[in-house]
């Protein structure tokens, strides 16, 4: 069972409380945990000291300054995040527009160009050097099921992956 310290604590405990609060600038909660003393006793001791009001004002001022710095950091990070999101969105719009231009052409697209645009839909056949449409892909009659004579398939690998 834990010993309960009373108001009539030793002179050493009072000195430690005053030292920890005024010199080490610890909070009463931290002092309470460190010395195993109840909070009301700690506050009573520190409030009796003549330096208490000055220390309280100093801590209040320091907290306001810390809060201002934290607000600036938060606002800066938020603006940076929003700017990055706008840039990413603009890049995505450009990519979508380029793909739309490519897909909306009425010209017939060569098999190699189609395979390059949608490389993830094809597997490379080592025996015949062909790109073969994957079995699980359902495509219309105008999609090339086989693109012949692709000697180096890495040359037509696309960064885009469409599944």
Secondary structure in 3-state letters for the chain? CCCCCCCCCCHHHHHHHHHHHHHCCCCHHHHHHHHCCCHHHHHHHHHHCCCHHHHHHHHHHHHHHHHHHHHHHHHHHHHHHHHHHHHHHHHHHHHHHHHHHHHHCCCCCCHHHHHHHCHHHEEEECCCCEEEECCCCCCCCCCCCEECCCCCHHHHCCCCCCC
Question: Residue 66's pLDDT band (boundaries 50, 70, 90)?
Answer: very high
pLDDT over 60 (residue 70): yes
Q: Which of 5-9, 42-46, 98-102 has the lowest mean pLDDT?
A: 5-9
Kindly list the domain boundaries of the chain, sorted by start residue: 11-49, 111-156
Given a cut of 60, whether residue 13 has pLDDT beyond it is yes
Does the pLDDT of residue 150 top 60, yes or no?
A: yes
């Amino acid at each position: 069972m834990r010993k309960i310290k009373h108001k009539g604590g030793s002179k050493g405990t009072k000195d430690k409380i005053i030292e920890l609060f005024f010199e080490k600038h610890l909070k009463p909660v931290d002092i309470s945990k460190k010395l195993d003393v109840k909070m009301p006793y700690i506050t009573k001791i520190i409030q009796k000291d003549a330096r208490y009001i000055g220390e309280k004002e100093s801590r209040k001022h320091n907290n306001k300054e810390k809060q201002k710095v934290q607000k600036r950091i938060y606002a800066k990070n938020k603006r940076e995040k929003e700017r990055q999101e706008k840039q990413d969105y603009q890049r995505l719009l450009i990519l979508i527009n380029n793909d739309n231009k490519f897909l909306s052409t009425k010209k017939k697209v060569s098999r190699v160009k189609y395979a390059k645009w949608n490389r993830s839909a094809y597997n490379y056949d080592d025996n015949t050097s062909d790109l073969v449409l994957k079995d699980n892909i359902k495509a219309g009659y105008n999609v090339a099921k086989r693109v012949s004579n692709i000697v180096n398939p890495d040359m037509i690998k696309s960064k885009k992956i469409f599944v």
